[in-house]
Structure 1
Amino acid sequence: MLRERAHTRGERVEGRQRVGALAGIPVILDEMGKEAAAVIARAGINPDVLRNPENFLSFTEVGRLLQACVTATDCQHFGFLVGRRSTTASLGLVGRLMRNAPTLGQAIRDICVNQKYYVQGAVTYLALQGETAFWGYAVYFQGMQAREQLVDGATAVGVSMFRELSGVSPDAVLSLRQPPRDVEPYRQFYGYVPQFGAEQNAIVFPARLLAAPVQGADRQLRRILEASVAKYWAAKKPSVSEQAIRLLRAAIIFDRASLEEVAGDLGMQARTVNRRLKEEGTTFRDLLNKARFDVAREMLMGTRMPVTDVALAMGYADASTFNHAFQRWAGMAPSEWRGHPEVKQL
């Protein structure tokens, strides 16, 4: 049996996902000639839950639902079909906030900041490298089925929103997953085939576009929406450990996974973060190891990158150091873990 040694000492988070764009699943199933209610019910989901985008599903339920849809339709890009139909409207109040942001950069930051209140188990992030911006999405909840379907859908939603807010398309789309059988739907929607087997799931575009104004944004409505969002989330702030895990998931890819960086993003002193994490039953080192293990597993599972390249992508000086760390986390070498039969079930 596979072992997982890198873990927090706190309670395992089940994760939850706002229905949002998933509300479109019944329509797509019907269009593909499938009885939507039956497919959804086979996943153990009450079809009525998908009628309201403001409802919630656990990540386990989302995984079962998407896997049931893939099985019923034999469509390896079902999640993408769901996501490509969605816009900022699928995000409800946060989507309206984005639509009335002064700039594209602020709109993206709106979802990056607010997502933590209604999604636990995945993170969207904005990162800059020189003159290039990456708007990424990652699932850190472990054990869900059809993870690549959820990521595919989220990425397609991101591209739709990017076009809506900026009036242009991103330069590239990166995906950790292996290419499905049919890549033509991606080409038709994106204008090109995504870079499958990449180091992260992200939309790539020139950083200068972050300053581009959002056409049609209403400044007065924006102020009203800001107050509404603040009031809505007032009692739902996640724990420091949950926020740190979200920040670390992106920081590892860009070699910024330090206590000081995370504390700065949280608006706290490093010693305050350490104290709060101790109160929550964990440490920064525990969280960092868990995040590194999560990223390593995702790269090993979703790509054909050599182990050496995975090590370098994660910021390790050499493969040997990475191998030793992974051995501590999983109880076996990364190459052995990648070939293990149970990996396909994670």
Structure 2
Amino acid sequence: MGAMIRGASLRGFARLVTELGGDPEEFLDRFAIPAAALTSEEGLVPIDAHDLMLDAVARDLDCPDFGLRLADTQDVSILGRLALAIQASSTPAEALDCASRFLFVHSPALRVGVEPDPRGRREVVALTYRKDLRDSPYSPQATELGLGVFHRVAAALAGGLRGLRSVELPHQPLSPVARYTGFFGADVKFGCPTAALRVERRLLDEEFEGADETIRKLALDYLASHHTDPEELVSTHVRRTLAGSIGANPASLAQVARLLALHPRTLQRRLAAESTTFAEILEDVRRDLALRYLTTTDLPLGQVAAMSGFADQSGLSHAVRRWRGTSPSEVRRRVRPRVRGRRPH
């Protein structure tokens, strides 16, 4: 399957949508997200569907700051056991190291890190929040949710972000700029290369009162023993190789093995050790690409079929009925309905 995200990311979703006059179940059904995702925080949902749903709610309920509103209802506990390691850390630098190493448990498509200040100030660093666009398209609402939660967690751990210089977002403002400055308590810049919090470097070394090395070590040991970083898996590299070549080149085991500098039998054995096969990954990639093109573009169905690796539109239709129990056109209509007489965008 494609990149996933823990259902805990939707904490507060149902209540907020209801308060805005919407029907949470209708949105979940539209994006094929099980209702259990809202009650089982260990459950996983496709990050494509998760992000598309946030953008749709903001559009359909006329709530451009939906991501920020949802962030206001969440805290570090949405990260599960990773939250224990973060809260038990002795400094912000140590907490960020935990998060950067194990955020893949929350979603393998997301990463946080500490990078040099993009504006060249030596006394400032950028706490970056990134989504791997190889795994899922960019989503403005999901980015605002993620950076908003990142800010709330950092402020809670540090007793406030007094050294926050500015906030950077890749997209243009969705709401009045005052909404952003009010939320973050700092200047917000738009159209930037990366979502980030620019903070004074000295903040990274401030000590937390609640540090507990024993709890931190236990939490990290648990995460290391129960979860494998997808970047270390051969199946991840096969998936990305296929995603980058489907539609342009024939998808074959021999070709992918050559691109990964492996013998085809060696690749088969390594995939078997990860409890999957080349055929299963190919099916997943075709499904992810086809559904992504259907739900995020207006491309003709024949073009969607070709770009997803199907011989013709009929092959796409049969596959979509197998995956979703309906036609490609209906999948597109459900996700991107006409609203207030306007064409979806």
Once the two structures are superposed, the pairs formed by residues 259-338 of structure 1 within 5 Å of their partners are 278-279=261-262
- Do the aligned residues in 1 keep the contact of 2:90 with 2:210 (CA within 8 Å)? no
3-state DSSP of counterpart to 1:33: coil
Q: 1:55 to 1:191 in 2, by over 3 A?
A: same
Evaluate the alpha carbon distance shift between residue 234 and residue 36 of structure 1 in structure 2; reply closer, same or farther with a 3 A threshold.
closer
What is the TM-score when the length of structure 2 is the normalising length?
0.62
From the superposition, tell whether residues 156 and 280 of structure 1 become closer, same or farther in structure 2 (CA, over 3 Å).
Answer: farther
Change (3 A) 1:190 1:42: same
Quick one: structure 1 residues 97 and 280, their matched pair in 2 at CA, closer, same or farther if it must change by over 3 Å? farther
Cα separation, partners in 2 of 1:19 and 1:193, compared to 1, 3 Å: farther
**What corresponds to 1:198 in structure 2?**
192
* Alpha-carbon distance between aligned partners in 1 of 2:125 and 2:228, rounded to the nearest angstrom: 30
Aligned-partner Cα distance in 1 for 2:206–2:234: 33
Check 1:212–1:236 CA distance in 2 against 1; reply closer, same or farther (3 A cut). same
Q: CA deviation at 1:42?
A: 2.4
Give the 3 Å change call, closer, same or farther, for CA 235–106 of structure 1 in structure 2: closer
> What is the aligned partner in structure 1 of residue 29 from structure 2?
41
Give 1:107's aligned amino acid.
A
Alpha-carbon offset, residue 236 of structure 1: 6.3
Change (3 A) 1:280 1:57: farther
For the residues of structure 2 that align with 1:166 and 1:174, how far apart are their CA atoms? Answer: 20
Corresponding letter in the other structure for 2:79: L
Distance 1:71 1:143, change over 3 A: farther
How far apart, in 2, do the equivalents of 1:83 and 1:279 lie? Answer: 44
Cα deviation digits, residues 2-52 of structure 1 (max 9, x gap)? xxxxxxxxxxx8222122232221111122222222232222222221212
What residue number does 2:44 align with?
Answer: 56
Larger radius of gyration: 2
How much does 1:200 deviate?
1.3
- 1:119 maps to which residue? 107
The alignment covers a number of residue pairs equal to 243
1:92 matched residue in structure 2 = 80
Change in CA separation of 1:242 and 1:167 when aligned onto 2, cut-off 3 Å: farther
Deviations 1:37-82 (A, max 9, x none): 2232222222221212221111221133213312331112211211
Q: Secondary structure at the match of 1:52?
A: coil
User: What is the alpha-carbon distance in structure 1 between the residues aligned to residue 167 and residue 75 of structure 2?
Assistant: 17
Opposite residue 147 of structure 1, the aligned amino acid is S
Q: Does residue 177 of the first structure (1) align with residue 176 of the second (2)?
A: no
Q: Which amino acid aligns with 1:223?
A: K
Partner of 2:156: 164
Gaps (5+ residues) in structure 1?
1-12, 247-274, 282-344
Cα deviation 1:102-121 (Å, max 9, x = unaligned): 11101011111112344232
SS state of the match for residue 126, structure 2? strand
Distance 1:75 1:217, change over 3 A: same
Does structure 1 residue 31 correspond to structure 2 residue 19?
yes
TM-score of the pair, normalised by structure 1 = 0.62
Q: Identify the residue that residue 96 of structure 2 maps to in structure 1.
A: 108
CA contact under 8 A between 1:16 and 1:57: conserved in structure 2? yes
What is the aligned partner in structure 2 of residue 149 from structure 1?
A: 141
Q: Secondary structure at the match of 2:194?
A: coil
The aligned amino acid for 1:54 is E
**Equivalent residue for 2:225?**
231
Q: Deviations over 1:216-256 (max 9, x none)?
A: 1223222322222222225867337969xx9xxxxxxxxxx
- Is the contact between residue 87 and residue 160 of structure 1 (CA under 8 Å) also seen in structure 2? yes
Write the deviation string for residues 236-293 of structure 1: whole angstroms up to 9, x where unpaired.
67337969xx9xxxxxxxxxxxxxxxxxxxxxxxxxxxx9953499xxxxxxxxxxxx
Q: 2:232 aligns to what SS in structure 1? A: coil
Q: Sequence identity of aligned pairs in percent? A: 20
**Equivalent residue for 1:340?**
none
Compared CA separation, residues 60 and 223, structure 1 to 2 (3 A): closer
User: Which is bigger in relative contact order (C-alpha 8 A, separation at least 6)?
Assistant: 1
Of the three residues 198, 213, 230, the one matched with 2:207 is: 213
Matched, 1:134 2:122: no
